[in-house]
Amino acid sequence: MQYILEDQIALITGGSQGLGKQFAQKYYQETINSKIIIVSRSEPKLRSAVADIIMTSTQRKKEEAALQNDEQEVALLAETRTDIDPIIIDEHTLHSTIADHRLFYMPCDLSDYSAVANMFQTLTMVNMLPTQVLSCAGGSTPKLFKDLSGAELESGVRMNYLTALYLSHQVARNIPSCHLILFSSVTAFFPFIGYSQYAPLKVSLKALAGILRHELPQARVSCVFPGNFQSEGFELEEVSKPDITRSIEGPSYPISCEECCDKIVWWLEMGYDDITTDFIGWFLMSLDMGLNKHNNNSFLWFLQVIVGALTNVIIVPIYMVICSIQISMWHRRQSHEE
């Protein structure tokens, strides 16, 4: 199944901010016929995101037309309204309204199974079942396991696994031939101290993608493992991240949200379904490769198997000793401080 942006109905969860919003921006700006539906819990954030996407897209088109000295296009865009009231999709949405617009929003608590089921029932009712589903919802609270509250632990499961699990289940039941794109994380390949609220759920998404590839032969199931990228969520992570997590993670140079989105789209268009956004992600995926892997479709996967085998035998044991020493020294310092 070829990945293209044009002539699609794209459902994007986590679409009110971060990477989800950036994908919505890309679909809206670079297509003519595609319909885009962004989903999250907060209706005010969704309405704000829709308005911002429309305004940003119009401004960019004006700048491009000005650079090309296209006076007619500049004049036409100057008359384009950017104060369009955001359009919600619900059971009362008219087909004529859907025909006249391309960007819509749907408030939904994706961690509530009945809410997700109702959302798909509504989409069926208005004839807007998606051809592409992007599960971008999620977030991390980097802390030591003992310092996490019960609410933070539950939030991690709800945001990072249940949202994708329930969404995928409705896809399997209602549109088993669509393109489902799950968003995991590089921490799925190397979970370490500080990410107990986040990484285990991202590992689960990797496993879910593998199972769905077996069970949905008519679908295309992709799994993205992004590295750090600049977003509202990343800024919040930096506030709570323990020092030992920073030490093991190393210097963090997040790419822009737009660059991250463009890289993912490029790899999807190239036909790959296991996607990383930087070299360290590709390398960590190599360490996770083994003879028990199936249906893996990543860039130079055959080289990853070789690199992973050699690195796991030669380099990883040494690195894990160094990592263990770092953690032990950190624990000793913590004990002395207490």
Report the CATH number at residue 115.
3.40.50.720
Q: Identify whether 45 is a catalytic site residue.
A: no
Residue-level pLDDT at 73: 62
Element (H, E) at 215: helix 199-215
Assigned token pair, 73:
């296009």
Q: Averaged over 174-182, what is the pLDDT?
A: 96
Look at residue 326 and tell me if it is in a domain: no
Query: Confidence band (pLDDT; 50, 70, 90) for 328?
Result: confident
Spatial distance between the Cα atoms of 253 and 48, rounded to a whole number of angstroms: 28
Identified catalytic residue from 185, 198, 286, 298: 198
Residue-level pLDDT at 57: 86
pLDDT in tens, 114-128: 999 999 999 999 999
Mean of all residue pLDDT scores within the chain: 88
Within 13 Å of residue 30, how many CA atoms lie on the same side as its CB? 13
Look at residue 323 and tell me if it is in a domain: no
Identified catalytic residue from 26, 143, 202, 263: 202
For residue 13, give the nearest of 173, 211, 158 by alpha carbon. Answer: 158
- Domain hosting 61: range is 9-300
Q: Are 38 and 51 in contact (CB under 8 A)?
A: no
Q: Identify whether 198 is a catalytic site residue.
A: yes
Look at residue 317 and tell me if it is in a domain: no
pLDDT in tens, 76-95: 656 565 557 789 999 888 88
Q: Based on the structure, what is the number of domains in the chain?
A: 1
To 5 degrees, how large is the angle CA 312–CA 315–CA 317?
A: 75
Q: Of 43-47, 65-69, 163-167, 314-318, which range is least confident?
A: 65-69
Q: Identify whether 184 is a catalytic site residue.
A: yes
| Helix orientation angle between 18-30 and 43-67, rounded to the nearest 10 degrees | 40
Q: Averaged over 213-228, what is the pLDDT?
A: 92
Terminal-to-terminal C-alpha distance of the chain: 57
- Give phi and psi for 30, each to the nearest 5: -105, 5
Assigned token pair, 66:
């000005």
Within 13 Å of residue 336, how many CA atoms lie on the same side as its CB? 6
Identified catalytic residue from 16, 111, 168, 184: 184
Look at residue 174 and tell me if it is in a domain: yes
Look at residue 311 and tell me if it is in a domain: no
Look at residue 313 and tell me if it is in a domain: no
Assigned token pair, 282:
């590709």
Look at residue 183 and tell me if it is in a domain: yes
Q: Are 54 and 28 in contact (CB under 8 A)?
A: yes
Look at residue 71 and tell me if it is in a domain: yes
pTM: 0.85
